[in-house]
Every structure is written in structure tokens, then in C-alpha cells.
Amino acid sequence: MNADHPDFFDLIYRENYPGIFRYSFRLVGNSEEAEQLTQESFKNLYALFTNGTRIEDFKALAYRITHNVCLNFLKRNDKLKKIIKQETCLPLTSAPSAEDVLIANQRVEYLRQAILGLSKRDQECLLLYLEGFSYNEIAEIAHIRRTSIGKVLARAIDSLSGICQQRELR
């Protein structure tokens, strides 16, 4: 299906919505806000699509728009500090006991906080990588040279590994 087809944008929306929502959620830490920011991101993408802007990679552009929308939201509402201090994350639904859920949630939150402790560039690249983007797509979304993506990801993973090892030694 090409971009001139009347249902083209609907297809882009359906295929990319789950990933865009997850990315928004990881950036803002709240599902209701992530839902609103995801909708705003697609609205912005649709505006570009309908005004005739030449778009080579809809998926990459959708993530770039989402990243900017979420950062603007965080700056506008000073949410970044609240996310770092937040003590809960998505509950695990398949945990056999309340204690297991608590422990798993604490681990997820600790990891989320560790990720938020990385530089903004490292965070962005790592989250995009976790979403399954290729190095080329990450480079386009993050506005980083493709040849630097591997180094950025390696540094982010090494940092997280070091943080986790320090945590285990306590």
C-alpha cells in the first residue's frame, strides 16, 4: 500500500501504535499520560502526512515526534523528577504471590531508575533498541551517526551492568 492510498495512515497507526505507546510509557511512567502523548504524537504525524511533507520512514518519524512530545511534556510539567522518585511501575499479572509481585516490581523500578540515570542520549538509544529498532532507525530517530549507535548502546549497557552489580554487592 502506498502513501496515496486512503487507508495508508490508518495502517501506519495500527502497526505502530503499540510500540509508540510503550515508548511513551517508558519515557513518562504513567499509562494515562502515555496514552494522551501517543495520541498527540500521531496527530502531529498526521498533520505532516496531510500537508504534503515528504516522509521517507514513517516509523522513525513517529518515534522522533513521540520522543519530542514526551520531552516537551516532561519539561512543561516538571515530571522528570517525579518519575525518578516514583516507587511503582506496571504490576506483573502472572506473579504467584503478593511478595513475588512486590519483589518483581521493585526490581523493575530499580532498573527503570537506573535507566533514567543514564544520559538522555543513552536512554533514548537504549529504549529504542529495546523496542526492536535497527541501528539505522535509531540513528535517524536520535539524530546520531549510525556508526556511533553501537558505542552508545555498549556504554549504556555497561553502565546499567555496573549499577546492577553495585546493587547486588549491598
For residue 25, give Cα distances in angstroms to 1, 36, 92, 169: 30, 10, 15, 30
The residue written with cell numbers 516490581 in the block is 105
pTM, rounded to two decimals? 0.56
Contacts of 76 by beta carbon, 8 Å cutoff, 6+ apart: none
Q: Between 132 and 58, whose confidence is greater?
A: 58
Grade residue 51 by pLDDT with cuts at 50, 70 and 90: confident
pLDDT in tens, 110-140: 777 888 888 888 888 888 888 878 888 888 8
pLDDT above 80 for 77 = no
Grade residue 167 by pLDDT with cuts at 50, 70 and 90: low
Q: Between 149 and 98, whose confidence is greater?
A: 149
pLDDT in tens, 9-21: 889 899 999 999 9
Which domains does the chain show, CATH number per domain? 1-86 (1.10.1740)
Separation of first and last alpha carbons in the chain: 55
Contacts of 167 by beta carbon, 8 Å cutoff, 6+ apart: 110
Angle of CA points 128, 23, 78, to nearest 5°: 115
